[in-house]
Structure 1
Amino acid sequence: MAKARESTVAVADQVRSSLTTLAPRENIYNLPNLLTVSRLVAAPVTAYLVVHDQHAWALALFAYAGITDLVDGWIARKWKLQTVAGSVIDPAADKALMIILTVTLAVKGALPLYLATLILGRDASLLAAAAYYRYASLPAPKTFTRYWDFSLPSAEVHPTTVSKYNTFLQLVLIGSTLALPVVPAASLHLSTVGLHQGMQYYQWLVAGTTAWSGLSYAFLKDAVTIMGADEELKAKQGARGRAIIGVTFGSVVAAAVWAACYVDEEGSKTIARDEQAASKS
């Protein structure tokens, strides 16, 4: 009986000691994460409003997404509410907003095809390279389950300087495009033609920084850090990853040039003819 009691106490002590070593669960139900999730939901709703020509509401929701993007990060840092889940959802919400609105505005004709091709193609190229880097840096055995276990060592991406500026310029572009049907040109002391020309110049600027940003990941060796001890293998993997970006995004740039020369050029001529006909009538 005494031995059984001692055995029970020993097992209980062992269970208690093992419980103390377990990592505590994060409290993901906090205000910053709630704001981030609301931005994630706002992306398709904003696109829906654009499709149905509810431009004022779409602009207001986009402004809400931009403000909460700043506020949720500040709250998380101020009151130490950062979570791993938040670090994943936050950039996902930003990227979802950019991708969904880029596609929607391109379909509506508010963004030229060449620019939408560059923006979406850059993200697709980086995603393809990220998939390779993840597989290459994964310690053996390389299984499907281990591939999606992000607690295992992987590659670390360091956004390039031009990439950071490009992200800001793209967000301003989307916001300005949404504002065009809402804010009259006269209120900005500009003619309609002058306003559209200004937007065209800004689109060229964003196209240039997007192309530069995507290609920077193909040429800069320090943009990605691959985990592991074999420096020769890491150098080969880095070169292969950069080659993936170079080939895929190079093809995207070529497709964008073709779209600018043939598709968007024809669309511009058609719009110009329509405007001339409208002015004569």
Structure 2
Amino acid sequence: MNVANALTLLRLAAVPFLVLLLHEGRYREALVLFVLAGISDAVDGFVAKRFGQETQLGKVLDPIADKALVVTVYVALAWVALIPFWLVVAVVSRDLIIVGGALAYHYLTGALEMVPTFLSKLNTALQLALVTLVLVEAALPMGVHVWVDWLAVLVLVTTVASGLQYVVVWLRKAWAYEAGR
């Protein structure tokens, strides 16, 4: 086990603790743990690339840890009424569509190549920013709830747009594969 993969596993292990902290209303601790999880995501990628620790396991674990963190935190935040349920439905549906498309393409071709788009990266950044802002407001009320509402709408727009973009990407790949057979 290398350092990069260990950091990824730590991020994955943080997920249930985040849920527990949110459920107990311990928002400051949840904010700290969420920020540490985010930092670990940046650090594990840097370590893997910089020190030649990129592995197949890491390529699988990293996106799983990322999705587990985001989806679980969104569900937990809706559970404690800090974000609207409709946003969770959009975020989870998008991820199910992406995973479903990837699995269907893999079943069709035997290959799987996941390359995040710019819109997907923007969406992820906005999703993480929203969680951070929601946790900051819950932990240290600063009157930023108006920004939370606007950011939630922006996350919805980029979530839907990104999901649709992935549908188009997977369909084009499937059509190209079928045409080349």
Fold-level similarity (TM above 0.5)? yes
Q: Describe how 1:3-152 pairs up with structure 2 within 5 A.
A: 29-138=1-110
Consecutive unaligned residues in structure 2, runs of 5 or more: none
* Shift of residue 225, structure 1, vs aligned partner: 7.0
1:179 has 2:136 as partner: yes
CA deviation map 1:152-197 (0-9, x unaligned): xx13233222111101111111111111122231xxxxxx3xx222
Could you list the per-position Cα deviations for residues 23-66 of structure 1 after superposition, in whole angstroms to 9, with x for gaps in the alignment? xxxxxx12111111100000111111000011111111111101
Q: Report SS of the residue matched to 1:58.
A: helix
The reply on whether 1:157 has 2:129 as its aligned counterpart is no
| Structure 1 Cα separation of the partners of residues 100 and 52 of structure 2 | 34
Deviation (angstroms), 1:219 = 2.9
Q: Secondary structure at the match of 1:181?
A: helix
Structure 1 unaligned segments of length 5 or more: list them: 1-28, 139-153, 186-191, 234-281
1:248-277 CA-partner distances (Å, limit 9, x unpaired): xxxxxxxxxxxxxxxxxxxxxxxxxxxxxx
Q: 1: CA distance between counterparts of 2:180 and 2:54?
A: 36
Shift of 1:130: 1.9
8 A contact 1:160–1:223 mirrored in 2: no
Q: CA 1:57–1:219 in structure 2 vs 1: closer, same or farther (change >3 Å)?
A: same
Structure 1 residue 87: deviation in Å? 1.3
Are the equivalent residues in 1 in contact too, given 2:105–2:174 (CA < 8 A)?
A: no
* CA-atom RMSD in angstroms: 2.0
* Distance (Å, rounded) in 1 between the aligned partners of 2:167 and 2:42: 30
Counterpart-to-counterpart distance in 1, 2:8 and 2:173: 27
The alignment-based identity, stated in percent, is 35
Return the offset for 1:222. 8.3
Distance in 2 between the 1:166 and 1:133 partners? 23
Question: How far is the alpha carbon of 1:111 from its aligned partner?
Answer: 0.8
Q: In 2 relative to 1, CA 85–181 (structure 1 residues): closer, same or farther, beyond 3 Å?
A: same
CA offset at residue 75 of structure 1? 1.5
Alignment pair present for 1:209 and 2:158: yes
Instruction: Give the Cα–Cα distance (whole angstroms) in 2 for the partners of residues 168 and 203 of structure 1.
Output: 12
Bigger relative contact order, structure 1 or 2, given CA contacts below 8 A and separation 6+? Answer: 2
Aligned residues: 181
Q: Which has the larger radius of gyration?
A: 1
Matched with 2:146 is 197
Deviation at 1:109, TM superposition (A): 0.7
Query: Could you tell me which residue of structure 2 aligns to residue 231 of structure 1?
Result: 179
Work out the CA distance in 1 between the residues paired with 2:157 and 2:57: 33
Stretch moving more, 217-226 or 100-109: 217-226
Bigger share in helix: 2
Residue 270 of structure 1: aligned partner:
none
Matched letter for residue 86 of structure 2: Y
Q: Is the 8 A contact 1:159 1:223 kept in 2?
A: no
